[in-house]
């Protein structure tokens, strides 16, 4: 019963978060109407200390609410189901896991070709115009002569840029590790699965810290004078600071929640799709390649041992492998 109430309260909070934030904003503005800002007359040391305290409080509120956003997001049914499906899909391909890296290499080559083709096709160029079958660049086609005709030269500029972008096109390498890990694109990069929660937090920490420094200085520099010498003036002003920090923290929490439920979940779905694609792929060529591994030649060492041939993966002590 308590779990049902908790779910209902959580859903109520998420469904009405916008109204809650607006209500908090209105209350802060009403309290603000009771006071007026004035320079505090504090010394430089006092301003630094008060600013530091305000920064620490604001920063801690944002971090804690961000963690709460992660926790709420991870408890949603859609995220749970997606992670469960990813685990089941990973388990289903475990019998062929040794071929996954070779399949990933083929997919990387194909994805790079597709990305380059998209870039070149935007300016009317074919993939074969710039690249050989093995993906190397045709040097003779890199440069396009300058045309004296303005209209043609404008098109040539776009082609030169596209050629440069296609040559420099990079994709995130697809690998066994990236597909089988549970954590979570660029336009031409189908295997960029986005940020992990740790990377997301590190990225958001910088901007949050700058915001809190600015607010800390502002709250440290200014003090208040009540319109009618209200005795609780300092408490009200502190409440305004906390309210502002809570509003900013609530925004951070929302961003963290949507990161888990949308961005990271979508990245996991992309992994599931690729794992299922591998599961449905004919693996005959990978198995044949694994069975046709050439033996490795072993040179004779100083101990006078004769040359030997071993299969790849066997450990040979005190011998040098060519």
At 132-171, the pLDDT tens digits run: 998 999 988 899 989 999 999 999 999 999 999 999 999 8
Q: What is the pLDDT of residue 317?
A: 38
Secondary element (H or E) of residue 122:
none
Q: Which residues contact 153 (CB under 8 A, 6 or more apart)?
A: 146, 147
83 or 58, higher pLDDT:
83
Candidates 62, 63, 41, 44; CA nearest to 52 is 44
Q: What is the pLDDT of residue 68?
A: 83
What residues does each domain of the chain span? 17-84+193-282, 96-180
Mean pLDDT of 298-313: 44
- Which helix (H) or strand (E) is 35 found in, with range? strand 35-39
Q: Which pairs count as long-range contacts for 209-213, CB under 8 Å and 24+ apart, including other chains?
A: 209/59, 211/58, 211/248, 212/54, 212/55, 212/58, 212/59, 212/62, 212/245, 213/51, 213/55
Question: What does the DSSP 8-state code read for residue 110?
Answer: H
Position 9 pLDDT exceeds 70: yes
- Determine whether 160 is exposed, middle or buried from the number of CB atoms within 10 Å of its CB (0-12, 13-18, 19+): middle
65/70 Cα distance (integer angstroms): 9
Question: Using the 8-state DSSP alphabet, how is residue 311 labeled?
Answer: -
* 75 pLDDT tier (thresholds 50, 70, 90): confident
189 φ/ψ angles, rounded to the nearest 5 degrees: -125, 90
> Which pLDDT value is given to residue 314?
37
Distances (CA, A) of 26 to 32, 81, 176, 192, 228: 10, 39, 51, 42, 22
pLDDT in tens, 240-254: 777 877 888 888 888
- 322: pLDDT strictly greater than 50: no
Give the model confidence (pLDDT) of 175-196 as tens digits.
988 888 865 444 434 445 455 5
**Which residue do the tokens 């071993």 mark?**
310
What pLDDT does residue 57 have? 72
Q: Which residue has the tokens 């079958």?
A: 133
Average pLDDT, rounded, for the chain: 75
Q: Which residue has the tokens 């990161």?
A: 259
Q: CA triplet 68, 72, 77: central angle to 5 degrees?
A: 165
Nearest CA to 36 out of 186, 240, 187 is that of 240
**Which pTM does this prediction carry?**
0.60
For residue range 16-45, list pLDDT tens digits in order. 665 566 666 666 655 655 555 555 666 666
Give which of 107, 112, 172 is closest to 136, Cα–Cα: 112
């Amino acid at each position: 019963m308590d779990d049902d109430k908790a779910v209902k309260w959580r859903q109520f909070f998420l469904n009405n978060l916008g109204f809650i934030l607006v209500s908090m904003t209105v209350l802060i503005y009403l309290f603000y109407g009771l006071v007026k800002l004035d320079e505090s007359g504090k010394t430089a040391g006092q301003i630094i200390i008060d600013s530091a305290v305000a920064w620490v409080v604001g920063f801690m509120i944002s971090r804690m609410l961000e963690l709460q956003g992660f926790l709420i997001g991870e408890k949603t049914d859609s995220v749970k189901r997606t992670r469960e499906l990813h685990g089941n899909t990973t388990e289903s391909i475990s019998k062929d896991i040794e071929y996954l890296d070779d399949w990933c290499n083929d997919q990387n080559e194909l994805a790079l070709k597709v990305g380059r083709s998209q870039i070149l096709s935007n300016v009317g160029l074919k993939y074969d115009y710039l690249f050989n079958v093995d993906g190397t660049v045709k040097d003779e086609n890199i440069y396009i002569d300058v045309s004296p005709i303005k209209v043609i030269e404008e098109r040539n500029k776009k082609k030169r840029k596209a050629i440069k972008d296609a040559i420099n096109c990079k994709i995130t390498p697809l690998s066994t590790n990236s597909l089988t890990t549970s954590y979570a694109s660029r336009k031409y990069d189908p295997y960029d699965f986005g940020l992990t929660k740790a990377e997301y937090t590190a990225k958001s920490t910088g901007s949050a810290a700058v915001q809190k420094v600015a607010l800390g200085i502002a709250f440290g520099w200014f003090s208040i004078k009540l319109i009618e010498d209200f005795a609780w003036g300092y408490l009200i002003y502190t409440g305004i600071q906390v309210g502002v920090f809570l509003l900013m923290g609530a925004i951070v929490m929302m961003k963290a929640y949507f990161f888990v439920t949308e961005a990271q979940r979508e990245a996991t779905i992309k992994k599931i799709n690729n794992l299922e694609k591998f599961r449905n792929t004919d693996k005959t060529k990978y198995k044949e390649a694994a069975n046709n591994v050439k033996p490795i030649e072993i040179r004779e060492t100083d101990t006078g041992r004769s040359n030997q041939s071993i299969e790849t993966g066997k450990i040979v002590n005190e011998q040098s492998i060519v």
